[in-house]
Structure 1
Amino acid sequence: MKDLDNIPAMMAEIGARAREASHALAFATSDRKHAALIAAADAVWEARAGIIEANSKDLAYGAEKGLSPAMMDRLMLDEARIQAVTEGLRAVAAQPDPVGEVIAEWDRPNGLHIKRVRTPLGVIGVIYESRPNVTADAGALCLKAGNAVILRGGSESFHSSRAIHACLVEGLKAAHLPEDAIQLVPTRDRAAVSEMLTMTDTIDVIVPRGGKGLVGLVQREARVPVFAHLEGIVHIYIDKDADPEKALKVVLNAKTRRTGICGAAECLLIHDQIVDTIGQDVIRALIDAGVQVRAEGRLQQIDGTTPATDEDWGREYLDMIIAARPVADIDAAIEHIRRFGSNHTDCILTENLDARDRFFQRLDSAILMHNASTQFADGGEFGMGAEIGIATGKMHARGPVGAAQLTSFKYLVTAQGATRS
């Protein structure tokens, strides 16, 4: 029984258990990891009524805290979303096992045969807010990559995360893998987060998944390496050669499908030549869909818009709000994105392939899209089964962080008695 009053001691014990479990997981077979994930998926579905009941407590807590509608949507679980959780677990189970994959292999004139192969990172700490499904996604991906994981869910999702975590532990038991492979911090106390950030002896990398406040805190204070994105300030540029029908469909989906996810569009840039045609149609459609459009320049002449201010550029709303401005050309759009973007996901809508290539070449966001909704910025949609987050840094992992990105590598060197002169 963990002593919840002594946070440092509790976290040290959790870390030591995770480190021990990671040693066994490093060489666990693909079949056993697959079996654990399938058993966990079955357990989640069987426990769906209990998970929904636990989630109702979290929703009441969130309402009491005054969470925004978008944050409440992130928090909410119903039967359809629980089914998506089980499908995510099964999808990760079905992915190829990255551990042991030969990344490169070559022979040297000195008699050495060298392989670079994927190996687990070890112990991963995941700190997240609101979305209880992250408990399943993070647990599954870490397990698939042979890592132990310490999960610290948000205070809002406390009960839901515990219910889902119990199902993951059932899966580990069923596959005869260490139960400590997936641990959930059993307290809402923020001191546990501070401890995780300094556990350099037992945690190999921290993955924060949440709002700017959480991610900024982790990036500032962590002594453990971090995979993170600070914000999803997602831009869509409608080029003068955009297809009107595609533009309307993509922008509406990118903004309104789910406003609270990091791939939701937050800023719309419209080529000056089409402001009065495609631009007007798109802005009116957004307003008709209930989106508040904070507009600049000629776009302000459209009924229902409100004037944009300087604070509207480079802002992550996570709500039914979008900033919109005309730009002179594609280079002006690129310059705006460089200045105000967050290197997460940005999109161009155009039928001009030269414009697409210029956009792709001159921007360095982790994900760049052409004629596709930015809501696809998700590991599941990329074929990774799920993802633990979108990394916008340039070291190790970038873009959706799936199982393969949760590995490092080592060199295996063999020879026939080679010696160095």
Structure 2
Amino acid sequence: MTHADITLEQRAQGALMGAYIGDALALGPHWYYDLDALRRDYGAWITDYTDPRPDRYHGGLKAGQSSQAGIILDLLTQSLTERGRYDEADFCRRMDQDLFPQLDGTPMNGPGGYTSQSIRETWRLRVREHRPWGQVSGLADTTEAAERILALAIRYALQPAELARQVSANTLLTQHDTTVMAMTVAYGCVLGSLVRGEPLDAQTSDRLMAMVHEGSLPFHAVTSTGEQTPPPGPEAPRQAGQFPSPDALLTTSGILRAATDPDIRIEPAWKASLVYGMPCAVYHQFPAAYYLAGRFQGDFESAVLHAVNGGGQNQARAILTGALAGAIGGIQAIPDRFLKGLEHGDQRLAWAQQLARQTAGSVNAPAGN
């Protein structure tokens, strides 16, 4: 099947299911920074869902189950499919009622077996200090928000300006560092472009930058087309939510050029985790995900398994890579064993199908619907 034969609905389904699958594939071998220990516990190459060891981060869970990232993605996806649009109050209500009562503020607790720094900070401010939503975000530099906003990027793929607005608003609920926000929104913009059917290539950044210059994306264009220096005179005031530079959008194409340059090879590809960094921060995770999805165009299995086998924060890497690779190849590119082995796979596929229909029907919808 060629790229042109993949429908919008198939790309949208592939993106959402790819994220869920990436999360579950990394559940067992999550956070092994000692790669020798990873190989001793799971063998030379992980190919499928695995049980976490009882002494590890997700001990007690079983192969095919989700981490807390997948569970939070459930909350946002279910809200989107039931409401037909992003309803921030509804999503926050689900967090308050369905997630927070199961947390106690410690890391090794809660659904999925581990609660991230970002969610712990939000829980503390919301539950312990009784602050309202909008005043509970923290400074964690992880991809926590990106692991859920990908559902918004799918839903608003045909409305790029609305995509950026909603992704920015949802990210701000739990993370307010401007670099984290810029890189998260940029990832959402890239994923949305893939769901629309645009390729992941060296021109991806150029296409997104064209939207910046026309005012569709909230990044501050330091230079105008063809200029090498900022234009003279005072710069225009920035609106709330605008980011200081477009660099987060420019990252993608540079990495794609490296992935396709015959003189630049990372062999085996899982060592992208060593090149870009194994830790949790956004500046390690997004580049590795772009590299793996770009290198294995249309090969979902290779992209995600190299993300998993790279160790470190492989769960975030696999979620982000899985969404990109699923959008590129469509739902039909995902091996059947991954779909069948995923807990709640049928329900999540039904949500993916419904979200895809909403995405396809949004082309003539007004903003916010």
**TM-score of the superposition, structure 2-length normalised?**
0.31
Q: Name the larger-Rg structure.
A: 1
More strand by share: 1
